[in-house]
Structure 1
Amino acid sequence: MASRPPEKWRAYMADTAREVAAGTLPPECPGAADLYPESLLRTTDAALEVFEVEVRALRELSEEAVFGAVERVVLALNAIDRDEQHGGPHFFTEEREELCDYIDLTLIEHGVDVAALAARRGIDRGAITDRWRDW
C-alpha cells in the first residue's frame, strides 16, 4: 500500500528535531511543528483514508466513479490547505507532487489503469487532479 504523505512529513520533522537536538542543525532551522502542524497532518491523513476506503469500495471502475473519488479527495485537500487553523497553505511543490503520486498509486493498487483513464479523457496522466486542484 502506498504510504500517505503525512507519514513522510512526520518523519522529516522528527529527523530535523533530532538534528537540531544534536547540534548539527541550527535551532532556527525549519522543520519543527510549525512546518507541518499536527492538525494539518491529522486532517490530511483523514481525507486520504476516506479516499482509500472509497476507492476500495468501488464495485465498478467506471471513469465516472474513479473521477468522482478523485474529485472528492482533491476538494477535501483544497479545504485543508486553505484552513487557517493550520496556518496554511502548506501544500507547495513537493507536497503537491507527493499527494498526486499518492492518489495515482492508490488508484493503481486498486486496479485502475491511470494512464488509460487519463488518455480516454485526453489529459496527461499527471493531470487527473488538475480540474479541481487549488494547491
Structure 2
Amino acid sequence: MANRPPENWRAWMAEVARDVEAGILEPECVGAAEIYPESLLKATDSALDAFEVEVRGLLEPSDDEVLGTVERVVLALNTVDGDASHGGAGYCTEEREQLCEYIDLTLGEHGVDVAALAARRGINRAEITDAWRDW
C-alpha cells in the first residue's frame, strides 16, 4: 500500500529531531518540524481514511464515480489546508505532490487505471485533482 503523506511527514520530523540530538543539525533546526502540527497531520489522516474507505467500495466504477471520489477527498483536503487551527501550516509543493501521488497510487492499487481515465478526460494523470484543488 502507498505510504500516506502524513507518515512521511512524521518520519521527517523524527529524523530532524534525531539529527539535532546527534549534533548533525543546529538546535534551531528542530523548529522546522513545526511545519507539520499534529492537528494538520490528524486532519489529513482523517480525510485520507474516508478516501480509502470510499475507494475500497468502488467495484467496477465508472469514470464519474472515480472522479467523484477524487473530488470528495480533494475538497476535504482543501478544508484541512485552509483551517486556521493549524497555526498557518498547510500544504506546500512537496506536500501537494505527495498527496496527489498518494491519491493516484491508491486508486491504482484498487484497480483503477488512472492513466486511461485521464486520457478519456483529455488530461494528464497528474491533473486528476486539479479541477477541485486549492492547495
Per-residue CA deviation, residues 103-129 of structure 1 (Å, 9 max, x unaligned), is 000000000000010011111110000
- Identify, as 1 or 2, the structure richer in helix: 2
> Which 5+ residue runs of structure 2 have no aligned equivalent?
none
CA distance in 2, matches of 1:31, 1:60: 43
Match of 2:59 in 1: 59
1:106 paired with 2:112, answer: no
- Once residues 88 and 63 of structure 1 are traced to their aligned partners in structure 2, the CA distance between those partners, rounded to angstroms, is 35
With 96-105 and 15-24 compared, the bigger mean Cα shift is at 15-24
Q: Which residue of 2 aligns with 1:3?
A: 3
Q: What's the % identity of the aligned pairs? A: 69
Determine if contact 1:52/1:106 at 8 Å carries over to the other structure: yes
Structure 2 CA distance for aligned equivalents of residues 110 and 4 of structure 1: 15
Which range moved further: 18-27 or 3-12?
A: 18-27
What is the rounded CA distance, in whole Å, between the counterparts of 1:41 and 1:80 in structure 2?
9
Distance change (3 Å), C-alpha of 1:35 and 1:14 = same
Q: How does 1:1-135 map to 2 (within 5 A)?
A: 1-29=1-29, 30-32=31-33, 34-135=34-135
Which segments of 5 or more consecutive residues in structure 1 lack a partner in the other structure?
Answer: none
1:41-92: CA deviation from partner (whole Å, max 9, x where unpaired):
1110111111011010013311111000000000000000000111234211
Give TM-score scaled by structure 2 length.
0.95
CA offsets, 1:14-51, max 9 Å, x none?
0001111111111111433x210011111101111110
Structure 2 CA distance for aligned equivalents of residues 128 and 89 of structure 1: 24
Distance 2:8 2:27 in 1: 21
